[in-house]
Structure 1
């Protein structure tokens, strides 16, 4: 009886040892291949090269004023008060509020306009569709700098200079074409049958868009959102031209005020730069996966 019980157990143990997982577990672990080590070393080296300027920026932001010309890489002591001084002794707080309003306002306006335009373009084969997409692409060829004189004159006549809403309109206009292009490609990759099945169950066209298409197109929406937000956050030329009052200027223009005719306040300049990049870095880190999936939209059918 014991022999009969032991036989199936032995066969079961032998079968378990023959599975791929068991064979992989029984193999001795090998170290990384030389090719893997080389690739990893090159990747770390490239990462260090790209991160060194940011490290230098943070270190300079923490340097005392009397150590800015010292040849040493690290200061003798870190002046954390530089961040407090740059916040209280300049218009950086007001500039940050203007930049937040411009970036979020431009992003919201772009999404409100680009989503219906991209949905209609992706779902409807109307006459002049290709011409519309071509015109959208052509608008990307115009740089804001080439239109500044006309924009300044127009907003001057309407009395809209030194207003954050003026920058919202300009940034939204120059980022709208990219949002329409990427959302058209992403919505076009979503099967129409999903919307049709939802409308059979009683959904309207708007309901199908909101409940079915929009959740599936979320990576593309996030990609358009983050690119519009970063473009509006980093914009400089329009903010410098259309805003002449220090309190109404965006953060990029406010940081430029630390560069004088004869001296440059490097510690305050880099402290303001650190403050300026932190929100964008945090936002991009939170939705980086959505951005990557949105960029590859339509590449695989």
Structure 2
């Protein structure tokens, strides 16, 4: 047979259209981030120029922002809050989700419905009550208050996604492990959790990103600049009479890099975790 017989067919018009549309949408979403990087590299004298690209780039803003602002301390606070709230959510959501998925107790559906309903409440609408509660507990302006608040607002999603994923794992696997000499706890850690790891990773990444990007609670519950998260620290760079845009955009680039790297590393686990329970 000639080589012409094996020549690949050109892509269909629909495939070309879908691919071009996808690239166009990707460019639209990426463009603001490129503008952020370009602005961070603009010299101070060219920040108000209308051109998209500066005459020359000055990347010293990425160096000076660490010494001239509280970026390093805000970044440390955000990292502690994100990790702390993620670990707290995981410690509470795992047993709750396991019990909900494995035990058909009275009020189970009502509990799951209540978990789902709590997702409808916005943190902004509860700020007054939260402020009063933490004021009574003398926890305002601390790292602990941010950990507790972020964990509370992300717990419902973690319970929901983990419960759906654990319920999709056949209970016979745990029963077989118990026959082999493992107790319920041993079967949980040796059988169920390894199989539910994509769901666990999904809960972890969404909780971490939500805590990393949170702004309103950090602004309301903290007042000291050295105890505020990164999002509030960047907002503090916007003064009443002047704005150091090169610092703002340089700090914003620093803020999004860890999340992008983390999401890129475990993206495949997130996709499989979100589709948990969709196929039976």
Indicate the TM-score class for this superposition, using the shorter chain for normalisation: over 0.9
> How many residues in Structure 1 have an aligned counterpart in Structure 2?
280
Partner of 2:51: 72
Taking the aligned partners of 1:170 and 1:155, their CA distance within structure 2 comes to 10
- Is 1:226 aligned to 2:223, yes or no? no
> Which residue of structure 1 aligns with residue 183 of structure 2?
204
Q: Mark the runs of 5 or more structure 2 residues left unpaired by the alignment.
A: none
Question: In structure 2, what is the Cα distance between the partners aligned to 1:227 and 1:244?
Answer: 26
Structure-1-length-normalised TM-score: 0.90
Which whole-Å CA distance do the structure 2 matches of 1:281 and 1:266 have between them?
A: 22
Residues 63/199 of structure 1: CA separation in 2 closer, same or farther (3 Å cut): same
1:133-282 residue pairs with structure 2 within 5 A?
A: 133-282=112-261
Distance of 1:79 and 1:245 partners within structure 2? 31
- Among candidates 268, 273, 276, match of residue 294 of structure 1: 273
- For the residues of structure 2 that align with 1:34 and 1:149, how far apart are their CA atoms? 55
Please give the secondary structure, in 2, of the residue aligned with 1:258. Answer: coil
SS state at 1:278 partner: helix
Shift of 1:223: 0.7
CA distance in 2 between partners of 1:280 and 1:188 (Å): 29
1:244 counterpart SS class:
coil
Tell me the C-alpha RMSD between the 2 structures: 1.6
Q: Distance in 2 between matches of 1:298 and 1:138?
A: 20
Partner of 1:10: none
Q: Which has the larger radius of gyration?
A: 1
> Counterpart of 2:236 in 1: which secondary structure?
helix
* TM-score under structure 2 length normalisation: 0.96
